[in-house]
Amino acid sequence: MHRAARIEDWLHDRREVCARKRGYRPTVIPFTGYGSTGWVRILCRVLLARPDKAGAAPPKKKPRSDGRDAGIRGWRSFTSVPVKAVTVVIEIDGQRHEVEADRGGVVDAVVPVSLVPGWHVARLHTEDSAVQEAPLFIVDPGTARGIVSDVDDTVMVTTLPRPLLAAWNTFVLDEHARVPTPGMAVFLERLASASPGAPLIYLSTGAWNVAPTLTRFLSRNLYPAGALLLTDWGPTHDRLFRSGREHKRGNLRRLALEFPHMRWILVGDDGQHDEAIYNEFVHEFPGSVAAVAIRQLSPSEAVLAGSRSKDEIEGTADIPWVYGPDGSSLANQLAKFNLL
């Protein structure tokens, strides 16, 4: 294991011992999952919370799916102690499963189920923590189309230099301070409505710590509901920092293998590496892509983003690439290909 990872594990272990002595207990932060009629991908994170936030008794009111009732809010989700190797109990439609959190307290596990297509709920808890509910979207095996969307500079505009974005997410972390990209909520809603039953995946290089805030932002700004696929910051077993590009590449490949008969509409922007990543995916899985929609950043946004692609990628009749500054422009262009 990389030395930085060993140091991080040692630090987490020390902090966990101290927090437990102060009476802190594990609590589950639930995230939206997805799956098919025979399996589901469960996503959540286990952190230590104050006793008054992580009571043993289940809450009287229905817990929110964005983690607001799970006891960890805002910047505290970055300073809270993750609980590694803890067993999380999953209850879905009367079936019980047990999975183990990774070294960052994150659970990303596939469990067998037998569910009809549509929205369902998984009940999650660990040790004597309160039960939290995680929404699950089950995709009909016959669904022919899905949607993958980037987050930063695609569905929201932060108007900050890229090097400061992580600090902003860490210490401000307020959905009210984020600006929705013009027309993108309507654009994604139209894409979802054009293909009933299509799964929507928000794929971002952001940390799992910001998931509750992103969920509230998307809901507040009327973006269609979908699963968030984020990453865990910090060192891995073999490198100092996690690779955002590899995170996106890996999850795109996983979606292509999980839903081999589905064609995805990929939505991103030209300020990061979305074009290159999507182009690689198109060449690796051409039968899994229906179209690519790239939001073009304004000159000032491009400066803040630190870079901008120089050349637009030419699409084909089977896989069109469309470019536009906002959701309305992208929608109008995809409509010409009968994708809306």
- My answer on whether 166 and 274 are in the same domain is yes
Q: What residues make up the domain containing 301? A: 145-335
pLDDT higher at 264 or 55: 264
Residue 155 has pLDDT above 70, yes or no: yes
Structural domains of the chain, count: 2
- My answer on whether 149 and 133 are in the same domain is no
Q: Out of 100, 120, 139, pick the residue that ends a domain.
A: 139
Q: What is the mean pLDDT of residues 133-160?
A: 90
Between 327-335 and 184-194, two packed helices, what is the crossing angle to 10 degrees?
30
Q: How far is CA 118 from CA 97, 183, 192, 197, in A?
A: 21, 26, 14, 7
- My answer on whether 128 and 158 are in the same domain is no
- My answer on whether 171 and 109 are in the same domain is no
* pLDDT, the chain, mean: 82
For 104-168, the three-class secondary structure string (H helix, E strand, C coil) is CCEEEEEEECCCCCEEEEEEEECCCCCCEEEEEEEECCCCCEEEEECCECCCEECCCCHHHHHHH
Q: Enumerate residues 6+ apart whose C-beta is below 8 A from 275.
A: 268, 294, 309, 313
Predicted pLDDT at 164: 59
Residue 91, domain member (yes or no): yes
Residue with tokens 């089977």, as numbered in its chain: 318
Residue 115 has pLDDT above 90, yes or no: yes
Residue 18 pLDDT level (bands cut at 50, 70, 90): confident
Residue 132 has pLDDT above 70, yes or no: yes
- My answer on whether 156 and 266 are in the same domain is yes
- My answer on whether 67 and 118 are in the same domain is yes
Predicted pLDDT at 199: 97
Predicted pLDDT at 183: 95
pLDDT higher at 129 or 140: 140
* Residue range 68-79, pLDDT digits in tens: 444 444 445 555
Predicted pLDDT at 60: 41
* Residue range 243-288, pLDDT digits in tens: 678 999 999 999 999 999 999 999 999 886 889 999 999 999 999 9
Residue 186, domain member (yes or no): yes
CATH number of the domain where residue 46 is located: 2.60.40
- My answer on whether 129 and 177 are in the same domain is no
- My answer on whether 102 and 190 are in the same domain is no
Q: What is the rounded distance in angstroms from the CA atom of residue 165 to the CA atom of residue 178?
A: 11
Q: What is the rounded distance in angstroms from the CA atom of residue 197 to the CA atom of residue 189?
A: 12
Predicted pLDDT at 304: 55
Q: Enumerate residues 6+ apart whose C-beta is below 8 A from 75.
A: 170, 171, 172, 173
- My answer on whether 303 and 239 are in the same domain is yes
Q: What is the rounded distance in angstroms from the CA atom of residue 248 to the CA atom of residue 75?
A: 25
Residue 161 pLDDT level (bands cut at 50, 70, 90): low
Residue 58 pLDDT level (bands cut at 50, 70, 90): very low
pLDDT higher at 194 or 12: 194
- My answer on whether 156 and 97 are in the same domain is no
Residue 62 pLDDT level (bands cut at 50, 70, 90): very low
Residue 340, domain member (yes or no): no
Question: In this structure, which amino acid lies at residue 118?
Answer: G
- My answer on whether 57 and 109 are in the same domain is yes
Q: What is the rounded distance in angstroms from the CA atom of residue 127 to the CA atom of residue 106?
A: 16
pLDDT more than 90, % of the chain: 51
| 63-72, 184-193, 209-218, 229-238: least confidently modelled range | 63-72
* Residue range 288-323, pLDDT digits in tens: 999 999 999 877 666 555 555 556 788 788 999 999
Q: Out of 88, 113, 139, pick the residue that ends a domain.
A: 139
Predicted pLDDT at 157: 81
CATH number of the domain where residue 289 is located: 3.40.50.1000
Nearest to 104 by CA among 85, 82, 87, 88: 82
Whether the CB-CB separation of 247 and 14 falls below 8 Å is answered with no
Q: What is the mean pLDDT of residues 33-54?
A: 87
Q: Out of 87, 120, 139, pick the residue that ends a domain.
A: 139
Residue 188, domain member (yes or no): yes
- My answer on whether 47 and 157 are in the same domain is no
